[in-house]
A and B are shown apart, each in its own frame.
Chain A
Amino acid sequence: MTESAIVGQWTAAPGAEEIVTGKARYCPDIQLPGLLCGKLLYSPHARARIRKLDVRKARNMPGVFAVITHADIPGENSYLYAEPDQPLLVVDEVRFQGDAVAAVAAVDERTADAALAAIEVEYQELPGIFDPLEAMQPGADQVVQGEDNVMMSQMYRAGDVEAAIASADVVIENTYRTQWAEQAFLEMEGGVGLVDDEGGITVYSSCQAPHRDRMQIARALAMPESMVRVITPYIGGAFGAKDEAHVQIHAGLLAHAAQRPVHLIRERRESMLTHVKRHPMIIDYTTAATKEGKLLAVKARVIADAGPYTNSTHEVLNKCGEFIGGPYKVENVEVEKIGVRTNNPITGAFRGFGAPQAAFVYESQMDDLARKLGMDPLAIRLLNGVETGTKMYTGVVIREGTAMKASLNKAAEMIEWEKRDQVERRPARHLRRGFGMATILKGSGLGRGLADHAGVVLEMHRDGSVVLQSGAADMGQGIVTVMAQLAAERLGIGMSSVRVVRADTAKSPDAGASCASRQAMVSGNAVLEAADTIRDTLLTMAAGKTKIARDRLDLKAGRLTVDGEPHELTVKDLALRAGIWGYPLHAESLVHFEYPTDVPDVTYRFSQEVFQFCTQIAQVLVDCETGQVTVERLIAVHDAGKMINPGGVYGQIEGGIAQGIGYALTEELIVKEGHTQNPSLENYVIPMAFDIPELEMEVLEIPEPLGAPLGAKGIAESPIIPTAPAIRNAIYDAIDKPLYELPMTAERVLPVPDAGSIRH
């Protein structure tokens, strides 16, 4: 390959102009003749028995086309991310405030609201179970009758933790607590269902996993999947909360019941009450080390509040446990993962998927350890950090781990870590300045043993233009851009010649969910494979036509090149010839994520094997009398393997850090007795531009050898992960007070112990 013309260049996303000018159609923008307004009736209670549910009045109202309850669902009445335990419409007991009991479709919104009001529901409120620690006790009232509140309890052991702790010079034990956090995407969950000409159901869905949506919709309708089609329009963010299906199933059910198209969009309040939050966790954590600072053992017990239903609790806890030791060489690890049912909000996927909670703990603990040993936080991390070839406690061997220490060193250089004590530490009587770092790893891909594949269909037309069909949902993260770039690069054409059809199950092969920082890798490889097939045909034809050896030919900037020099034949000419002579410029590919087969003793289930490494360093200012914290500087060094679209990479880093600052300092869903107190972005406080410093970012490009297109690896999740512990460690540095609970609000930063005696 010659030098990249498109890959690695800052590129506007296909559709960017439509998005910024308001032309792009999102679910709420879809208009169809006869479109009905759909609405769901949600539970006002955290836990109640339904004594009566009567929808007759609502059904008989003029303008109401369908009212459905659990009794009207033709197929299975459950979601199915993993376990089928969350009903689409509740049968007899509501178990959290987001449970839906009925759905209506009416001629307009006002009629739909009136129909909801006309549904008669009699609830008998029941005492709820809101404290996971109480819910775990033997004999505790069951959230789901007949099911143990402890929905998951797994122990993973590597090495001999007790022996390692017994032999250690230093042992540190702490308990950490994290909060419910909200994804706060721009576009609320939505779906538009319609009945197609053959009686099948088509659903426009704001989602992360169109093919899994199709399966769930078909299952609820008792229809073959072949009769269900899911189309993704433009999607305004997801961050994990649209990984599991939401209202798109109900949109399909309502369209089927009404035999008319139905629009179903959640309001912000409904959205915040119903979709999964980041799991609040209580983590007991023990670190054992030698007096030189070498880690000997990590022991953790992780308790996650799952809410009443399973959703992705198993998977999130699995990832939390997988990374609980951090990016460090430690052989003796014991982690107990416990998921507990309560009547609180449901919890599940959110950017990082269990890793942010783990990182807050292991990176906080690393600074506590450094303090205890009188070591520098940078030195202790370099001493213990993983490298290329390190075998993790999970059994996984790190193929490319240079970035762990490279990112630490680069970040330290950028903020002049060694000279940080020369910076004014007391800029005013009550102000203290501090510096803190955090370094993490996070896997990309679903994990060993899981169906982790993606396909694309690629076709070049006679005019040289290309259509690329992929089932990968683009929620704004930019997979469409990445795929178009890779196709354009390989086919020697401009970005404007590639049209990516947004995921549509009737046209696009399954690419799995857009999650786990996986699509750029797995769908990226699928694009390269398909593009290479077409490229091969073009070059073979060109060799025949020009009588020039095939290996001297290439495609670049719309032309054939010979030894790198432009030839008079264009890609268009070649495409036209191919069309006329009947050469197929059509390719399909199906690529599986490569999990290495040469590592015999991977003991951790579903382990990931490609790692995102990054380091962030925060400089904070703390007011000792008020407890207020300002993040003054934030340095971020991330490894992308290879940047395909640098704008997308930097965008992911900026966005992740903004979310991370919120997670660290302000964001918390406040839930009292199962009732969410702040289901609005007015009271759920995400940071604004004033609250985020000018970010200082650096991207390393250390090619990933495993399953990575052109060496590129996922970047989507890692940016949010180190931010909270970096800020926590900076606050510790500033005021000599370690914090063990998120978010680190002013109230929690206070009281500052003996502000006069702080060591700086």
Chain B
Amino acid sequence: MLRLPPIKLVAPTTVQAAAKAIATSDDNARLVAGGTDLWPNMKRRHQKADTVVSLMSIPDLDSIDSANANMRIGATATLANIIRDDKLRARFPAFAVAVASISSPPLRNMGTIGGNLCVDTRCTYYNQTEEWRRSIDYCLKEDGKICWVATKSPKCWAHTASDSAPILCALDAKVRLVSASARRELPLADMYVDDGIDYLAKQPDEILTEVLVPGSSDSDHCRSAFWKLRRRGSIDFSTLSVAAAVWTDDNDVVTRASMYLGAVGSAPMPVAEIDTVLVGNKMSEDGIAEIAHVAHKIARPMDNTDFAASWRGKMTVQYVTAVLREIAGLPQLRMRPRHRLKVV
């Protein structure tokens, strides 16, 4: 059986104590919340730690304040509790859809929003057992000298695997980061770096304590949608996800728009052109087609997950179109993902 290596596990009961624990322990310390990503990764020896600091004993760090004008979600709120929150579902439906698409019910019962936002990047050549990786020789992401996805690349091409990240980026979410010596608020989009190894701008001693979603991004102010591509209707990670939010005035003229692509880069990839194309116009098939074309050029699907990379590229066009048609209220022309697009 795949087993955890020996570790020292500490479970402080305050954020300050946790921040202190991570700051004062040896170099090789890590944070854990639900553990649905870290524990399997440690069992496969991808991620290594001598000390693991658990956030799960901190009271109230799992609270969800969805009634407040600006929604606040504690870092250890489980994914299952997020989709159970009626107010949250009503105000941020695409976010709820994205969270409901993550893995399976048992893992959503354990997995947390903070953990999902910080989830490790993934790659076909990396997310394998230790024996498998050793047999072909380790890759860049693991002290090796070669990227098996692009053998001449000096950079790791592992892809972002968070489903909550693209939609929360599109909804202008911020995160609060706390360390032993400082605290700061950061737009979520700025927390990601397009590098398969160093994919987070968060420092290792910083703890993501809460997620803030502005009231101006709720369903009274904007329309949003999330589509996720994978082979099955559950369990699998994204091989492509598209999240978008569109703000309109009383005449349905777009005043602002935002879109992020998941799993086709090491960070959620912004489609910045959406704003210039859509703003000042009503949403139209032509505008949607233009953005789909732009998004296709931004997406960098590689041979690092399920499906042929070229097919995932084509699918970017289709999924961007589908998401924007959903937002525009146009009839869908194609097959929907098999997971639920509405969370009840």
Q: A residues within 8 Å of B by Cβ?
A: 44-45, 109-110, 265, 267, 269, 428-431, 621, 623, 625-628, 630, 666, 675, 677, 679-680, 682-683, 685, 687-691, 745-747, 750
Contact = CB atoms under 8 A, between A and B. Distances in A.
A627 B334 CA distance: 10
A565 to B, nearest CB: 53
Given A44-B135, A680-B129, A750-B311, A691 B338 contact: yes
A690 B234 contact: yes
Interface string B2-14: 1100000000000
Interface string B314-344: 1100100000000000011111001100000
Contact of A677 (B3, B124, B332): B124
B131 A269 contact: yes
Contact of B231 (A109, A430, A625, A685): A685
Nearest to A45: B135
Given A747-B307, A747-B311, A44 B131 contact: yes
Contact of B334 (A110, A430, A745): A430
18 contacts: A44-B131, A428-B331, A429-B333, A430-B334, A623-B335, A625-B334, A626-B318, A630-B335, A675-B135, A675-B136, A679-B129, A685-B231, A685-B306, A688-B233, A690-B233, A690-B234, A691-B233, A745-B307
B127 interface: yes
B182 interface: no
B134 interface: yes
6 tightest A-B CB contacts, nearest first = A690-B233, A429-B333, A623-B335, A44-B135, A690-B338, A430-B334
A626 B234 contact: no
Interface of B: 1-3, 124, 127-129, 131-132, 134-136, 231-236, 306-308, 311, 314-315, 318, 331-335, 338-339
A688 B1 contact: no
B62 to A, nearest CB: 27
Kindly name the residue among B124, B134, B232, B335 whose own CB sees the greatest number of chain A CB atoms within 10 A. Answer: B335
- Max count, chain A CB within 10 A of own CB: residue among B131, B234, B315, B318: B131
B335 A626 contact: yes
B307 A746 contact: yes
A683 B129 CA distance: 12
A189 to B, nearest CB: 13
Contacts of B124: 677, 683
A687 B232 contact: yes
A45 B232 CA distance: 31
B5 to A, nearest CB: 10
A431 B331 CA distance: 12
- Most A Cβ at <10 Å: residue of B134, B315, B334: B334
B334 to A, nearest CB: 5
A626 B308 CA distance: 12
B307 to A, nearest CB: 7
A690 B236 CA distance: 12
A429 B306 CA distance: 27
A689 B234 contact: yes
B127 to A, nearest CB: 7
Contacts of B135: 44-45, 675
B257 to A, nearest CB: 24
Contacts, number: 79
B128 A680 contact: yes
**Majority secondary structure, B binding face:** loop
B335 A683 contact: no
A747 B308 contact: yes
Given A109-B3, A626-B315, A687-B232, A682 B307 contact: no
B232 A666 contact: yes
A746 B333 contact: no
A685 B136 contact: no
A424 to B, nearest CB: 14
A599 B334 CA distance: 56
A745 B232 CA distance: 12
A691 B236 CA distance: 12
Contacts of A429: 333-334
Contacts of A675: 135-136
B338 A627 contact: no
Contacts of B311: 627, 746-747, 750
A691 B279 CA distance: 39
Contacts of A746: 307, 311
B232 A688 contact: yes
Contact of A267 (B1, B232, B331): B1
Contacts of A621: 335
A267 B2 contact: yes
Contacts of A750: 311, 314
Nearest to B336: A630
Given A44-B134, A680-B128, A746-B311, A431 B235 contact: no
Contact of B129 (A265, A269, A689, A747): A269
Nearest to B305: A683
A666 B232 CA distance: 9
Contacts of B332: 428
Given A269-B132, A626-B318, A691 B307 contact: no
A549 to B, nearest CB: 63
Contacts of A691: 232-233, 338
Nearest to A681: B235
Contacts of A428: 331-334
B34 to A, nearest CB: 18
Q: Most chain-A CB neighbours within 10 Å: which of B127, B233, B339? A: B233
A621 B338 CA distance: 12
Contacts of B233: 688-691
Nearest to B127: A682
Given A746-B307, A750-B311, A431 B335 contact: yes
Nearest to B237: A682
Contact of A690 (B1, B232, B307): B232
A685 to B, nearest CB: 5
A567 B129 CA distance: 67
A621 B334 CA distance: 10
Given A44-B134, A431-B334, 16 more contacts: A265-B1, A267-B1, A267-B2, A428-B332, A428-B333, A429-B334, A430-B333, A621-B335, A626-B334, A675-B136, A685-B306, A688-B234, A690-B232, A690-B338, A691-B338, A750-B314
Contacts of B315: 626
Contacts of A45: 135
A666 B234 CA distance: 14
A746 B306 CA distance: 12
Contacts of A267: 1-2
Contacts of B333: 428-431
Given A626-B314, A746-B307, A747-B307, A685 B132 contact: no
A45 B334 CA distance: 44
A254 B134 CA distance: 27
A274 B308 CA distance: 27
Contacts of B129: 269, 679-680
B334 A623 contact: yes
A85 B331 CA distance: 61
A689 to B, nearest CB: 7
Contacts of B318: 625-626
A109 B306 CA distance: 33
Nearest to A28: B1
A625 to B, nearest CB: 6
Contacts of A689: 233-234
Contacts of A269: 129, 131-132
A131 B124 CA distance: 24
A675 B128 CA distance: 13
A22 to B, nearest CB: 15
* Interface-centre pick from B127, B231, B235, B338 (highest chain A CB count, 10 A): B231
A400 B307 CA distance: 46
Nearest to B6: A110
Contacts of A44: 131, 134-135
Contacts of A679: 129, 132
A740 B42 CA distance: 42
Nearest to A662: B232
